[in-house]
């Protein structure tokens, strides 16, 4: 099937205009074991950009009932997101920090944790689209309590999977990049850096969409 370039470009521009990027700081200048913020309500089509500010952390998707373990360990049809480990010190010498940007493709709750050490048990967890209206017991607070009691903290490498199954669960298409290190306050996010990352991510999204269209 043939699409004219202008039709595709117009469609893609429409998608880009609707996208919102939510920035999540991973750890902080005082090396805390947390995500900031840890409770977000992104819309389908939005992106989450994790900015790794200190230490060596990761972002992995679990489900609510099995915290601190990759979601695909419990359901082989699921494809969980995994940022890989982001060693901030390794890129600090260049004045850059690593980032990982994921696309949000579902409005269902999506549970995330850091698979480093016992960070998950220590509370380094977060949620996208918590829905306590649908199920009051599935709150971030309850997830943190469950995580604290998890017997182990596993990454997808530990279960022999970094790709998961065939069905995406809302967190596919992540991209890694680096941006200039924030200067000043620990929570500071350089607007300039975010702006540049938005365009990089947008183009990454465009390329994958264009590739999908080309396959039609
Ligand atoms: Cu961590």
- Token reading at 140: 């971030």
Instruction: Provide the sign of the torsion angle of the four alpha carbons 204, 206, 207, 209, taken in this order.
Output: positive
CA of 107 to the centre of ligand 1 (A): 25
pLDDT score of 15: 56
CA of 34 to the centre of ligand 1 (A): 7
Confidence category of residue 73, pLDDT binned at 50, 70, 90: very high
Average pLDDT over residues 46-73: 96
Helices (H), 52-190: 88-92, 140-148
Q: What is the rounded distance in angstroms from the CA atom of residue 148 to the CA atom of residue 143? A: 9
Q: What is the rounded distance in angstroms from the CA atom of residue 85 to the CA atom of residue 59? A: 8
Distance (Å) of CA 176 to CA 20, 102, 113, 147: 18, 9, 18, 26
Confidence category of residue 10, pLDDT binned at 50, 70, 90: low
Query: Are the C-beta atoms of residues 60 and 168 closer than 8 Å to each other?
Result: no
Query: Are the C-beta atoms of residues 21 and 80 closer than 8 Å to each other?
Result: no
In CATH, what number is assigned to the domain containing residue 73? 2.60.40.420
Is the per-residue pLDDT at 12 higher than 80? no
Query: Are the C-beta atoms of residues 54 and 74 closer than 8 Å to each other?
Result: no
CA of 50 to the centre of ligand 1 (A): 12
What letters, b where the CB count within 10 A reaches 16 and e where it falls short, cover 166-201?
A: eebbbbbbbbebbbebbeeeeeebbeebeeebbebb
CA of 122 to the centre of ligand 1 (A): 9
Is the per-residue pLDDT at 2 higher than 70? no
Which residue has better confidence, 125 or 189?
A: 125
Structural domains of the chain, count? 1
What 8-state DSSP symbol labels residue 32? -
CA of 2 to the centre of ligand 1 (A): 46
CA of 82 to the centre of ligand 1 (A): 13
pLDDT in tens, 169-185: 444 457 888 888 865 33
One-character DSSP codes across 75-95: -TTEE--B---EEHHHHHTTT
CA of 201 to the centre of ligand 1 (A): 24
Q: What is the rounded distance in angstroms from the CA atom of residue 107 to the CA atom of residue 127? A: 11
Query: Are the C-beta atoms of residues 174 and 92 closer than 8 Å to each other?
Result: no
Residue 23 structural domain: 5-214
CA of 134 to the centre of ligand 1 (A): 29
């Amino acid at each position: 099937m043939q699409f004219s370039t202008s039709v595709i470009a117009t469609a893609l521009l429409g998608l880009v205009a609707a996208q919102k990027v939510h920035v999540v700081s991973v750890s902080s200048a005082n090396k805390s074991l947390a995500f900031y913020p840890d409770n977000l309500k992104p819309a389908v089509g939005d992106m989450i950009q994790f900015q790794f500010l200190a230490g060596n952390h990761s972002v992995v998707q679990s489900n609510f009932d099995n915290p601190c373990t990759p979601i695909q360990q419990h359901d082989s049809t699921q494809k969980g997101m995994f940022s890989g480990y982001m060693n901030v010190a390794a890129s600090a010498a260049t004045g850059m920090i690593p980032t990982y940007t994921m696309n949000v493709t579902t409005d269902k709750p999506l549970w995330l944790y850091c698979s480093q050490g016992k960070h998950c048990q220590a509370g380094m967890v977060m949620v996208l689209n918590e829905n306590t209206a649908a199920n009051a017991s599935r709150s971030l607070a309850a997830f943190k309590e469950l995580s604290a009691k998890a017997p182990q903290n596993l990454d997808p490498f530990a279960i022999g999977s970094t790709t998961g199954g065939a069905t995406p669960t809302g967190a596919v298409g992540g991209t890694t990049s680096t941006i200039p290190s924030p200067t000043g306050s620990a929570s500071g996010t350089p607007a300039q850096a975010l702006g540049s990352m938005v365009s990089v991510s947008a183009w990454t999204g465009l390329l994958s969409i264009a590739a999908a269209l080309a396959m039609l």
